[in-house]
Amino acid sequence: MYGHQAIRNMSPAYPQFFRAAEGALITDVDGNEYVDLMCSWGPIVLGHRDPVVTQAVREQMEKGDCLDGPGPVLVDLAEALVDAIDDADWILFGKNGTDATTACLTIARAHTSRAVVLVARGVYHGAAPWCSPVPAGTLPSDRAAMGYFEYNDQADFDRAVEAAGSDLAGVMLTPFRHVEGEDQELVDVEFARHVRRRCDELDALLILDDVRCGFRFAHGGSWEPIGVSSDLSAWSKAIANGYPLAAVTGRESLRDAASAVFLTGSFWMNSTPMAAALATIRRLDAIDGVSLMQRAGARLRAGVLTQAADSGLTIAYTGPDVMPYMTFAGDVHHERMTRFAEAALASGVYLHPKHNWFMSCAMDDAVIDRALRATEQAFAAVRRHFGPR
């Protein structure tokens, strides 16, 4: 196996293959059932096999999926997303988050006729050569027009802007800083506003990589609540509740550039994922899915913090409630977190020791309480093995 699902990068205790899922639960091929705190690495936002989405998929499959062109569902979905997302005047579709972030990069360069795009150090934007976290097989030239700065550091950002000079095409940012194995960092609102001002001053584009966060923070762009707008946004993961789809949204002024670049894929126009996405977006709106996930996340956070304190263990629980991450103090090599994850797994909760977790709308109070019973056992296992700290 490869990528983030390569079991060689995880504890041997982890199952590699799964056979079924329902709601907030997932079952491996040996019949073990877990509360799924990874939500399939983010795509599951309503819950596994949500009945409304499943029905929409079945109805579309009866009509067709991979045709010579898109079905009318593309228009319905595009209109629904443009209505939901304040910064969207148009939309184009792809398959994966990397498709979307790379398209944003290309459109920004086409629109500005400039080369340099700035990103925060260490932040994940996909698996293409320009952004892959693993350098094997890539060339220095793949990143020759990339610039880097520290997230939430205005002075370092301004330094990177000055280094780019008149060749600055845009800035790509995630809604908050999430780097594998490190504590998460919420965006400083003044930093976000500063980036917006500098982009406006320099006629550069602000690109929001909303692949991981989209439709969990807000029913629209993740920076909508802080009042910072983007020029381009990249979407995937939760957009279709587990069906393969990605999207780029942008302002009217960028329509010509988006039309000029060559973007395509043999399966990019498949209708089934679009039907799933349309059902997902409508259902999230109807049930106020963001509030449901925030409630579940707040309950999980409160429970985990109480358990850690009761165990005499010092932890950091960082990031937003809907996408939290936990670390132990002094756990440089993630030994404590690995032991915690193994014990949680044995007690029926699937989480990752180095990656943020995700909430879904299927996580009601009973599910969170079930998860907390497992994390209580996990804290006890860490204390037994390492002692209080």
Domain assignments of the chain as residue spans, ordered by start: 3-49+288-386, 51-287
Residue 151: pLDDT above 90?
yes
Q: Is residue 119 scored above 80 in pLDDT?
A: yes
211 has a pLDDT exceeding 90? yes
Give the pLDDT mean for 115-130.
Answer: 97
pLDDT above 80: residue 279 = yes
The residue type at 360: S
Q: What is the pLDDT of residues 171-182, one digit of tens each?
A: 999 999 999 889
Residue type, 268: W
Q: What is the pTM of this model?
A: 0.96
Burial of 329 by CB count in 10 Å (0-12 exposed, 13-18 middle, 19+ buried)?
A: exposed
pLDDT of 1 reads 79
- The CATH class that applies to domain 51-287 reads alpha beta
Sequence-distant (6+) residues with CB within 8 A of 64 are 71, 271
- Convert the pLDDT of each residue in 19-34 to its tens digit: 999 999 999 999 999 9
pLDDT for the residue 236: 98
Phi, then psi, of 387 in degrees rounded to 5: 85, 170
pLDDT of residue 138 exceeding 90, the answer is yes
Percent helix, strand, coil in the chain, to 5, is 45, 15, 40
Alpha-carbon span 302 to 138, nearest angstrom? 43
Q: What is the mean pLDDT of the chain?
A: 96
CB 322 within 8 A of CB 175: no
pLDDT tier, 101 (very low <50, low <70, confident <90, very high otherwise):
very high
**Can you tell me the mean pLDDT for 347-351?**
98
Give the fold, CATH level 3, of 3-49+288-386: Aspartate Aminotransferase, domain 1 (3.90.1150)
- Could you give the angle at the alpha carbon of 356 between the alpha carbons of 146 and 13, nearest 5°? 120
> In the prediction, which pLDDT does 230 show?
98
Residue showing tokens 């890539």: 138
